Amino acid sequence: MDQALLAAVSGIDATQTYLDTIGNNIANVNTDGYKQQDVDFVDLLSEQIAGATAPPSGGNTGSGVDPLAVGAGVRVGGISSELSEGVLQQTGQSNDVAISGSGFLVAQQGGEQVFTRNGQLSVDANGNLDTATGGLVQGWQAVNGQIDTNAPIGAITIPTGQVIPAKATTEITASLGGRPPKLKSTKATQ
């Protein structure tokens, strides 16, 4: 009798965690960058009360019997986040970014390295690119238009008031119907 009650209580506890997770998903339905969570259940140790039997010998008149087992309940095996790509939409904000495919933005916040898919970014008073929660977005800083991916990452800064002179495009490659033609620009005369 106690075993049956313990199995039932484990089911109630696991169901409470499941309902809490659903409530959290509903509460965050409009939170930018939030990813739905799912609960994974696992069976608690089960006890075998009768062994398996072999099929009767001397003909094809039946099959064997599977073992009989009684479970001890259920528990939450883990809570996983759905990391698939969300719907991309225009925000009208020049600093907002979207991550297409897998990956995260890396930020430094409170002395810790944190990861986010929320691309709602802004520039603080010091010119640092930061997240909506105040984390400094990390990455490789471009030097003279070049990015060295072997250098250590640091806070990305966007220097205000500095202008990088535009450089005219002289050649592009486009693919039209599987044929990549080379297009050369001509100098415009004024």
Domain limits, the chain = 2-81, 85-163
Whole-model pTM: value is: 0.52
Give the integer Cα–Cα distance in Å for 173 and 33.
Answer: 35
Q: What is the mean pLDDT of residues 133-156?
A: 88
The token pair at 106 is 């890396």
Give the integer Cα–Cα distance in Å for 182 and 121.
Answer: 37
Determine the pLDDT at residue 181: 54
- Contact criterion met (CB below 8 Å) for 17 and 76: yes
- Contact criterion met (CB below 8 Å) for 124 and 155: no
Give the integer Cα–Cα distance in Å for 137 and 134.
Answer: 9
3-state secondary structure of 32: coil
Better-predicted residue by pLDDT, 11 or 68: 11
- Contact criterion met (CB below 8 Å) for 155 and 108: yes
pLDDT grade for 155, boundaries at 50, 70 and 90? very high
Give the integer Cα–Cα distance in Å for 54 and 77.
Answer: 34
Q: What angle do CA 114, 105, 82 make, to 5 degrees?
A: 85
Identify the weakest region by mean pLDDT among 14-18, 86-90, 136-140, 149-153.
Answer: 86-90
3-state secondary structure of 23: helix
pLDDT digits (tens, 9 = 90+) for 59-101: 666 677 777 777 788 889 999 988 777 778 888 888 888 888 7
pLDDT digits (tens, 9 = 90+) for 101-125: 778 899 999 999 999 888 889 998 8
What is the rounded end-to-end Cα distance, in angstroms, of the chain? 95
